[in-house]
Amino acid sequence: MLADRIKSIPSSPTLSITAKAKAMKAAGIDVASLAAGEPDFDTPEHIKEAAIKAVKEGFTKYTPVGGILELKEAVINFMELEYGLKYDPEEVLVACGGKQALYNLFQVILNPGDGVIIPAPYWVSYPPMVLLAGGKPVIVQTDEKDGFKLKPETLKSHLSPWTKAIIINSPSNPTGSVYTKKDLEALAEVLAGKNIWIISDDVYHKIILKDEVCWASIATVSPEIKEKTLIVNAVSKTYSMTGWRIGFLIGNKEIIKAATKLQSQSTSNPSSIAQKAAVAALNGPQDFLTTWVDVFKKRAQRLLGLLKEVPGVSCFEPEGAFYAFPCMKKYFNGDSLKLAEYLLEEAKVAVVPGIAFGQDGFVRLSFATSLATIEEALKRMKTFLEMLT
Ligand SMILES: Cc1ncc(COP(=O)(O)O)c(C=O)c1O
């Protein structure tokens, strides 16, 4: 009945857990959830006001498929401020979230059998998106002891004549790992002179949790690398606008033109109202971000402190984003799905199993939730796991 295309992608192992957690909550069961993938802050008032103004002024019709010029110019300004890089409007596509930017990108660059190097742990949607575009996900495991970062020699050993692209996601969902400029220079050295696209997924780039960590984009390494890099960013995580669905693809003109053509035959423009809100987000005050990041820093420290009290658990200290990715191999022989199921059913704590991100034995804990929820979840987790030891 169904097309092979849809059969080629696995159903998400996280779905059953998330669905179960939701059903439990709906049934009145008090679940402490550390499963959130979005900031728990409200979208700032000036952004909401811009959307209301757009509606009242009748800005409610189709816009150019790739986004209004005002927003593209705001993105260009943002790229100059945040990355120190110059782009033209023809090098920017506005899409329905970072997700559609990535989806369009894979559709327009991949031919059947083209390989995409995906360092694991990875964001859950990369492999299915590559598969749906006819490509081949080449999963390359990274190690906790290397800060979950891909090493240049490992990258080199996985390159093949079919390698079409590589994904770098920094800060990472799910590990919170951040590549330094030096790390990126070393990877760029391996990729220099090769016909390989570099996809830089920077949707968490404003959420840096350690003062000594300085975020950098691989596109800034050299003009040659900038030419090969397609940047994906969004207002979703930075401005707490996940529901507004505005993301960007920035880079090579031909690719942007092709991705715009694809978008013209699928969703057309992203919501006109959300585009106006995104202009306000990018051009408006940015000071609230410092407050939000401080809140994330405090929660991260509390979570890591409490995790130390849980037997048999070690955790890489996240440098960015709002996730911790502790190693819990000791439990259920490293079967993270089983562990997540037990934590939900017995301890009433919702976490996302590491297997969903391509690395078993770990779980993802989100601290995009209140300190009270973090404390309660960790208390329950500790009590439950102590019974198992
Ligand atoms: C690493 C990463 N990239 C991209 C996205 C997509 O973000 P958006 O909500 O803008 O589509 C997410 C969302 O969870 C993410 O975690």
Q: Are residues 193 and 96 in the same domain?
A: yes
In the structure encoding, which two tokens stand for residue 96, read together? 């329905």
How much is the pLDDT for 13? Answer: 65
Encoded amino acid at 227, one letter: E
- The answer to whether residue 53 sits within a structural domain is no
User: Does residue 242 line the site of ligand 1, with CB under 6 A?
Assistant: yes
Q: Are residues 215 and 305 in the same domain?
A: no
Q: Say if residues 379 and 371 touch (Cβ distance below 8 Å).
A: no
The residues, ordered by sequence, that sit 6+ positions from 94 with a Cβ below 8 Å of its Cβ are: 66, 67, 68, 71, 72, 75, 246, 247, 248, 269, 270, 275, 278
CA of 99 to the centre of ligand 1 (A): 6
How much is the pLDDT for 14? Answer: 64
Nearest ligand 1 atom, CA 235? 10
User: Does residue 144 line the site of ligand 1, with CB under 6 A?
Assistant: no
Q: Are residues 274 and 369 in the same domain?
A: no
- The answer to whether residue 56 sits within a structural domain is no
How much is the pLDDT for 11? Answer: 74
Ligand 1 pocket: which of 38, 123, 245, 323 to mutate (most atoms <8 Å of CB)?
123
- The answer to whether residue 47 sits within a structural domain is no
CA of 174 to the centre of ligand 1 (A): 11
User: Does residue 97 line the site of ligand 1, with CB under 6 A?
Assistant: yes
Radius of gyration, CA atoms only, the chain: 21
- The answer to whether residue 55 sits within a structural domain is no
Closest CA to 202 of 289, 292, 276, 102: 102
CATH number at residue 369: 3.90.1150.10
Residue 42: is it exposed, middle or buried by C-beta count within 10 angstroms (0-12/13-18/19+)? exposed
Q: Are residues 188 and 251 in the same domain?
A: yes
Which residue has its alpha carbon closest to ligand 1 atom 14? 37
User: Does residue 37 line the site of ligand 1, with CB under 6 A?
Assistant: yes
- Per DSSP, 327 falls in state B
Nearest ligand 1 atom, CA 38? 14
How far is residue 387's CA from residue 389's CA, in Å, rounded to a whole number? 6
Q: Are residues 89 and 159 in the same domain?
A: yes
Which residue has its alpha carbon closest to ligand 1 atom 16? 173
Parts of the chain with a pLDDT under 50: none
Which residues are bridge partners to 371 per DSSP? none
Ligand 1 pocket: which of 237, 238, 263, 282 to mutate (most atoms <8 Å of CB)?
237
Q: Are residues 28 and 148 in the same domain?
A: no
Last residue of a domain, one of 262, 283, 304: 283
Pairing of strands 349-350, 32-33: parallel
CA of 98 to the centre of ligand 1 (A): 5
Per DSSP, helices labelled H in 203-335 are: 223-228, 253-264, 272-283, 288-308
CA of 369 to the centre of ligand 1 (A): 18
How far is residue 345's CA from residue 246's CA, in Å, rounded to a whole number? 36
- The answer to whether residue 107 sits within a structural domain is yes
User: Does residue 177 line the site of ligand 1, with CB under 6 A?
Assistant: no
How much is the pLDDT for 10? Answer: 80
Q: Are residues 275 and 296 in the same domain?
A: no
In the structure encoding, which two tokens stand for residue 218, read together? 């691989």
φ/ψ bin of 271: left (φ > 0), alpha (ψ from -120 to 50), beta (otherwise): beta
What are the φ/ψ torsions at residue 21 (nearest 5 degrees)? -60, -40
Per DSSP, helices labelled H in the chain are: 4-7, 13-26, 45-56, 69-83, 97-109, 126-132, 152-158, 181-191, 223-228, 253-264, 272-283, 288-308, 336-347, 371-388
Q: Are residues 200 and 304 in the same domain?
A: no
User: Does residue 260 line the site of ligand 1, with CB under 6 A?
Assistant: no
In the structure encoding, which two tokens stand for residue 23, read together? 């059903």
Residues spanned by the domain of 294: 4-42+288-388
Task: Give CA torsion, residues 236, 240, 244, 249, to 10 deg.
Answer: -20
Closest CA to 216 of 320, 318, 122: 320
Total of domains in the chain: 2
CA of 383 to the centre of ligand 1 (A): 33
Give the 3-state secondary structure of residue 141.
Answer: strand
Last residue of a domain, one of 251, 268, 283: 283
Pairing of strands 197-201, 229-234: parallel
CA of 89 to the centre of ligand 1 (A): 23
The residues, ordered by sequence, that sit 6+ positions from 150 with a Cβ below 8 Å of its Cβ are: 119, 140, 142, 168, 187
Half-sphere exposure of 209 (CA within 13 A, CB side): 28
Encoded amino acid at 319, one letter: E
Q: Are residues 129 and 160 in the same domain?
A: yes
Q: Are residues 109 and 160 in the same domain?
A: yes
The residues, ordered by sequence, that sit 6+ positions from 125 with a Cβ below 8 Å of its Cβ are: 99, 102
